[in-house]
Amino acid sequence: MKKVLVVHYSQSGQLSDIARHFTQPLVDDENVSVVFENVCPQKPYPFPWPFFQFLDTFPNSVYLDPPTIEPLTVSADEDFDLIIIAYQVWFLSPSLPMTGFMQSSAAKKLLKDKPVVTLIGCRNMWLLAQEEMKKMIAGLGGRLVGNVALVDEAGSIGSFWATPVWVLTGKKGPHLGGLIPRAGVSEENIKRCDRFGARIVQWFDEGRELNGDLLKNLGAVQIEESLIASEKTGRRAFRLWGRLFRALGPEGARLRRCLLAVYAVFLVVLIVTVVPLNMLLNKLLAPLMRERIDAQKAYFAEPSGSASEVADEKIMRVQSTEYS
C-alpha cells in the first residue's frame, strides 16, 4: 500500500478542486491511501479581501514571514511515499498559509527524505514563488520530483484585471459584459489534471522509484517568457518596499496604512507605465537574447517540462512517422 499526503489551502475552493482532480486516480486506486491535510492559519485570511488588507499582506508574503497555523490532523511521524504540496501564489511568493506549513516543525518531519510534487494554481506569475518553494523543500530535506502549474484562462492581460477583481469582490465574473473576462483556471484544465494522478498510479504499479521524470511529457507547466523579466523586476520592487513597510510596524499598523495609500498610487503608475514598457523592451530584445531566454525557460520548466515540449514531441513523432 502506497501512502500519499496532500497538503492544501484554498480561499475560493479553486486550488482544493484542482488538488481533488489531480489526485482522483490515486483515491480510486485500492493500493493507494491518500490523506488530505487542509492548512488552517490560526488567524484566517479574508475572502474577498478588503483592499488595504490585501496590499498590506505583500511584505509578509515576500519575506516569507510564516503565520501560525493550527496543528495538523495528520501525525508528523507518519511515513508517506509521496507528498503533494498544493499552493497558490501571493505577491510572487508562496501564499502565507503554505509558507506557515513549510516552516512548521511538522513539515520538517513529514518532508525529510521524501519525494515531493508541487501543484500550483495561480493567475500566471509563479516562477519566483516556485524558486522559494524549491529552497524550502530542499531545506527540509525533501526531494522535488514534479511540478504542475495551472494558470488563469484569461491570459496575461485579461487576468491582470480579472484576478484582482475576483479576490477583492469574491466574484469570478465575467464583468462589464465580458470586458473583464472570467477569472480563474478553466474548468477544462482543472478536469484534465487527473492525467498527473494517473501517471503517479502507473509508476506506483510499476514499482518505480519516483524521480524528476515522473510527470514529464504531460504539459505540466507553460513558461511565459515575457513574464520572466517582469517577475524579477516586480520581486525586486516588492522586496524594497517590503523592507520599508516592515520597518514601520506589523501588519495593520497605522503608519503602514498611510504608506500603503502612497504605495497604491505608485503601483498604479508603475502598472500603466513601466510594466508595458518593460514588456515591449523585452519583446524587442528577445531575438538578441534568444539563447539566454531559452536556457531560462528550460530551467524554470524543470523538473516536469513544459507544454511546448509536449508539442515538440508530438511534432517529432508525426515527422518521424511521416519519414519512416
Ligand X SMILES: Cc1cc2nc3c(=O)[nH]c(=O)nc-3n(C[C@H](O)[C@H](O)[C@H](O)COP(=O)(O)O)c2cc1C
Binder among 2, 11, 82, 145 for ligand X (CB under 6 A): 11
Least distance in Å: CB of 231 to ligand X?
8
Counting contacts by CB under 6 A, is residue 53 touching ligand X? no
Binder among 80, 101, 126, 196 for ligand X (CB under 6 A): 126
Counting contacts by CB under 6 A, is residue 88 touching ligand X? yes
Put the strands of the sheet holding 115-122 in their side by side order: 32-38, 2-8, 82-87, 115-122, 143-151
The packing angle between helices 226-247 and 274-285, to 10°, is 140
Counting contacts by CB under 6 A, is residue 87 touching ligand X? no
Query: What backbone torsions phi and psi does residue 249 show, to the nearest 5 degrees?
Result: 130, 180
Binder among 4, 5, 6, 10 for ligand X (CB under 6 A): 10
Sign of torsion over alpha carbons 17, 19, 20, 22: positive
Q: Which is nearer to ligand X, 20 or 123 (CB)?
A: 123
Could you tell me which of 218, 63, 227, 57 has the C-alpha nearest to residue 159? 227
Least distance in Å: CB of 95 to ligand X?
7
Counting contacts by CB under 6 A, is residue 14 touching ligand X? yes
Of the candidate spans 118-126, 186-194, 210-218, 287-295, the one that interacts with ligand X by CB under 6 A turns out to be 118-126
Least distance in Å: CB of 303 to ligand X?
20
* Residues near ligand X (CB under 6 A), total: 21
Binder among 32, 85, 92, 150 for ligand X (CB under 6 A): 92
Of the candidate spans 5-13, 24-32, 65-73, 276-284, the one that interacts with ligand X by CB under 6 A turns out to be 5-13
| Cell 520530483 belongs to residue | 145
Counting contacts by CB under 6 A, is residue 54 touching ligand X? yes
Query: What backbone torsions phi and psi does residue 116 show, to the nearest 5 degrees?
Result: -130, 135
Least distance in Å: CB of 20 to ligand X?
12
Counting contacts by CB under 6 A, is residue 167 touching ligand X? yes
Counting contacts by CB under 6 A, is residue 123 touching ligand X? yes
Counting contacts by CB under 6 A, is residue 15 touching ligand X? yes
Binder among 163, 230, 304, 306 for ligand X (CB under 6 A): 163
Kindly state the cell numbers that stand for 50.
Answer: 478588503
Least distance in Å: CB of 93 to ligand X?
7
What is the Cα–Cα distance from 114 to 112, expressed in whole angstroms?
Answer: 5
Binder among 19, 89, 144, 301 for ligand X (CB under 6 A): 89
8 Å CB contact between 254 and 67: no
Residue 169 to residues 51, 61, 166, 175, 257: CA-CA distances in angstroms? 10, 21, 5, 11, 21
Could you tell me which of 59, 106, 93 has the C-alpha nearest to residue 257? 59
Could you give the residue ranges of the DSSP H alpha helices within the chain? 14-28, 51-56, 58-62, 96-102, 105-111, 127-139, 155-169, 187-191, 194-205, 226-247, 254-272, 274-285, 290-301, 307-323
Counting contacts by CB under 6 A, is residue 301 touching ligand X? no
Of the candidate spans 31-39, 84-92, 111-119, 301-309, the one that interacts with ligand X by CB under 6 A turns out to be 84-92
Counting contacts by CB under 6 A, is residue 204 touching ligand X? no
8 Å CB contact between 81 and 4: yes
Task: Summarize as ranges the residues that interact with ligand X (CB under 6 A).
Answer: 10-12, 14-15, 49, 54, 57, 88-92, 121-126, 163, 167
